[in-house]
Chain A
């Protein structure tokens, strides 16, 4: 059994690159779902068990931070960690997002090990090694 991951980004190419990076990271992954914005992500979260969400910030219909807000208002979703994956490098911005409830932040361009490190830090190792 592996992690169940949701990747939320309006760019199909970035979803593909994130998917490739997670597969290359060495993480034990069960399934990777994809959504093109926050609304689609909520639909997936309502129907599937998800361990962790990787979300972009700027997306049409519902942004990454609106998604975090909606999840925090839902008793079933508020414990699912959200990690923002973005091109913004400002530490001030990252600090602001952490205050709003995201669990971690990955800067683009990223490497596969960035995903492994964040998942192990946020969720712990499936084999029980912290």
Chain B
């Protein structure tokens, strides 16, 4: 198994947001404390010799924008207002699919779980992130923050 580097997690996250939703991310230079409400989605994976989980965190407002982009609709279209969490989950699923192949190789079959949404709590989120193997913060063009983290 290859090392799970910050560089690979960053590259794959940026790639998937761009290809699946036309959202362009830039890696933030620092990871500040999260402010305001948040959606945290977790997906577990299992390879032949290691297991872990991948986390994406974003604001509800950005999640709705993400859903709208994926579906080619306007942000205020009522059909996307309840699809933000699902959109984050699907993006997380795609990132995880690419990452596990990078880490475990293409010759093995890995198990991917289902995305699970955690109720956002800024304090427990900050505490949990301390044990993440890799934790990256991104900003999209309009300034919205997206975090990605990997636990092994």
Contact = CB atoms under 8 A, between A and B. Distances in A.
Interface string A80-104: 0000001111111100100000000
Interface size class of A (residues with CB under 8 A): 20 to 34
A111 B21 CA distance: 11
Interface in A54-101: 58, 86-93, 96
B72 A108 contact: no
Given A13-B87, A90-B109, A107 B97 contact: yes
Query: Could you tell me the dominant secondary structure of chain B's interface residues?
Result: helix
Interface in A1-60: 11-14, 16-17, 20, 58
Interface string B82-124: 0100110110011011101100101111101010000000000
Contacts of A87: 93-94, 96-98, 112
B16 interface: yes
Interface of B: 16, 19-20, 67, 70-72, 83, 86-87, 89-90, 93-94, 96-98, 100-101, 104, 106-110, 112, 114
